[in-house]
Structure 1
Amino acid sequence: MRAADVPELRAELSAFANSPDGASYWEGHARTVDYYRSIDVTGADLARAVQNSLEGDLFAVTGPMGELAVAAGQSLGLFDMEAQDLPTPTGVLFFEDPPELLQGIDGDDLPLIIQGAAWSVGDDGEGGYAWITPIAQMSSDQAIRLGGPRLLPFSMADEAPAEERERMLFDHLIVTLRAAWLLMQQPLSEESTLEPDRATRKRLRRVGREPAEVRLIELRRPKGASGQSGGDGDREYHHQWIVRGHWRQQWYPARQVHRPVWIAPHVKGPEGAPLLGGEKVNVLKR
């Protein structure tokens, strides 16, 4: 998967979602899948949610950034989300190199590789929600397909039951997406834009799609020795130690909320002091 491929991949998925075959596909889901019957949605509801999602901004996440989202997502606790916690109200995100956690067996015992997801935010007056549509590839097939969309309630209480059972492939996607959304808005990520080349623009316009830029999300390279501080306040330390990556709650005055902020792994303590747990640290830089 390359970021440059994302506009045309979105065009292919949108063409299916807006076709009679797409309408029939969602109608079949609404009639036969217990989940959709339990939340009383129709095929038209599903089609509308998917179509709206696919019209959003385009994102491509590099391999290292995707791996960080997976790792950080495993320790991300539940919190009451808001629409502002997502980078855009609607969007389409592809992983350039899908993390291993997003490769496995789905609920129908089919081997899948989740390549990304589309989302659209809604509000039912009870805290809001997002429709999440997985974008997946069969392990034995080259075609990229849309999976059945699911609701992600923003209320922490509504999400709790999913944490009490063994996580399925879709659950891992949600965990990774939630972490990615937060990380994309923090200084450790770096965003650049890619414009479709001339040939891609011509192909997109030929099928009635206006070319759109792709927002490439990369892991920012650390500068110097930031984060290797010698202590807190006036406290004096005589050793260095490794601080593992973790989430910390940070207060956002403008929004009047606390939100998780990822603190990257780093060495803390005075430079040159002995390292607790060993005398040598090997640092692997990407």
Structure 2
Amino acid sequence: MTLRTETTLPGYARAAVAMKTRMHEYCASTAGHEYHRAFVETRWAALFPTDGDDAADPNHKLVDVLDRANSMVWAHGEAFVIAPAMTAVVAAGAEALDLTGDLLTADAAPTDGGVLFLPEPIYHRTLAGRVSGIAAITWTTIASPRGRSWLICGWAHRDDPDDPHATRIQAYARQDPTLLSRLGPYVLTDVNVLPIAQPVPAVDSPDVEEPDRDWETAPDGRYVITDATARTHVCAAIAYAFWRIQAQPIAVAAPAPLDRAARRRAARASIVHDTRVVMLRRTSAVAEPGDGPARWHYRVRFLVRGHWRRLIDRHGQAYRIWIHAHIKGPDGAPLLHGEKVAVLAR
């Protein structure tokens, strides 16, 4: 079960809860701890042990933070799913974002902890030319002597056939057949920190030698954000762009209904099962096949105010009829905040 294959709100909710359950179990396991330790030692190789004392080792402390924060957010964070039509909007906002010097408040995010699923991943190219898909982003608050911060993690789907990072994992799995059994459905690829109530520092651009191989390419038609041009760390930029866009009038965060069996499984595993699907608050005119008239295709239900409809009779004379207030939209679609809106003119 993956979000890539889902197209309905109940399907998104069911897949999100299943992924959260599996990821919570993985992050709380010994295998998750070992992956976090290997990730930290590879990513921050400059942090060395202090006098051989594990308790004072910066690597050990960071691994402990990742273990606790990731296990907690996958279990108790509210889930958000970006509809495929919203992916390009969020990616464009993230690529243009520059938070340098900004002061972020504690209410910048919709929740203190959350999981953002991207059924259509955004791809991230590092300075070394490696490409990884960002199929999920988690955020939670952490405390340090410097104050509170947002811990933002990027995750790639290990079984995405289009993701170069997943291809690398499959290559490692051929050398170690037990690798896939030790991994969760998502693997950690990036960690960013955004301070709260303190100026956001500028992104350091270290001098990186040109790779001795060709840069990896992302799948055709997918959005790619590169470290070479980003003015804010990529995962943090995507998360912040989502926070801002989901609160704008152009978007609607529709609660996704979850079937009873899935709710029971989530309750037994102590998993928060609230899921919201963020999509464009608009309608699109789609021409029907043949010479038929264009029809409006709605993705939500909404209350239409009572209004006069102007018509022309067979003799060319104008007249009007009164249309009573009614609910418009497909059955089963979420009701748009229960507010009355004017129907769009065609």
Q: State the TM-score, normalized to the length of structure 2.
A: 0.54
Asked if 2 retains the 8 angstrom alpha-carbon contact of 1:60 and 1:214, the reply is yes
1:132 aligns with 2:152: yes
Q: Which residue of 1 aligns with 2:193?
A: 151
1:88 corresponds to which residue?
111
- In structure 2, the residue matched to 1:47 is 67
Q: CA RMSD in A?
A: 3.3
Q: Note closer, same or farther for the CA distance 1:125–1:104 as it changes in structure 2 (3 Å cut).
A: closer
- Could you say if the C-alpha distance between residues 31 and 204 of structure 1 is closer, same or farther in structure 2, counting changes exceeding 3 Å? same
- 1:245 aligns to what? none
* Alignment map for 1:131-280 (pairs within 5 Å): 131-138=151-158, 139=163, 140=167, 143-154=185-196, 157-162=199-204, 166-167=228-229, 171-201=233-263, 203-204=265-266, 208-210=269-271, 212-221=273-282
| Contact persistence 2:24–2:72 (CA under 8 A) | no
Aligned residues: 218
Contact 2:137 2:154 in 1 (8 A): yes
Aligned to 2:140: 120
Report sequence identity in percent.
Answer: 21
Q: Contact 1:28/1:43 (CA < 8 Å) preserved in 2?
A: no
Amino acid at match of 1:172: V
Residues 90 and 245 of structure 2 are in contact (CA less than 8 Å); yes or no, is this contact kept in structure 1? yes
Q: Which amino acid aligns with 1:212?
A: H
| CA pair 28-72 structure 1, distance change in 2 beyond 3 A | closer
User: Is contact 1:30-1:36 (8 Å) kept?
Assistant: no
C-alpha displacement at 1:32, in angstroms? 4.2
| Structure 1 unaligned regions, length at least 5 | 224-286
Give, in whole Å, the separation in 2 of the partners of 1:176 and 1:32. 24
Q: Which amino acid aligns with 1:68?
A: V
- Runs of 5+ in structure 2 lacking a partner? 7-11, 49-56, 171-179, 207-226, 285-346
Where does residue 22 of structure 2 map in the other structure? Answer: 12
Shift of residue 76, structure 1, vs aligned partner: 3.0
Rg (Cα) greater in structure? 2
Instruction: Write the distance in 2 (CA, Å) between the matches of 1:163 and 1:156.
Output: 21
| Preserved CA contact (<8 Å) 1:69 1:180 | yes
Distance in 1 between residues matched to 2:98 and 2:272, nearest whole Å: 38
- Given that 1:201 and 1:211 are in contact with CA atoms closer than 8 Å, whether structure 2 keeps it comes out as no
Q: TM-score, length-normalised on structure 1?
A: 0.64
Tell whether the 8 Å contact from 1:46 to 1:149 is kept in structure 2 after alignment: no
The residue type paired with residue 93 of structure 1 is: L
Structure-2 separation of matches of 1:130 and 1:192: 25
Letter in 2 for 1:149: V
For 1:122, what is the secondary structure of its paired residue? strand
Distance 1:85 1:71 in 2: 19
Distance 1:177 1:93, change over 3 A: same
Q: 2:192 corresponds to which letter in structure 1?
A: R
Equivalent residues of 1:82, 1:128 under 8 A apart: no
2:44 alignment partner in structure 1: 34
Q: Distance in 2 between matches of 1:36 and 1:131?
A: 20
What does residue 65 of structure 1 align with?
86
Cα deviation, residue 202, structure 1: 5.0
Instruction: Provide, for residues 134-166 of structure 1, a one-character-per-residue CA deviation record: whole Å limited to 9, x for no partner.
Output: 121242369432335332234674431247961
Is contact 2:78–2:272 with CA below 8 Å preserved after alignment?
A: no
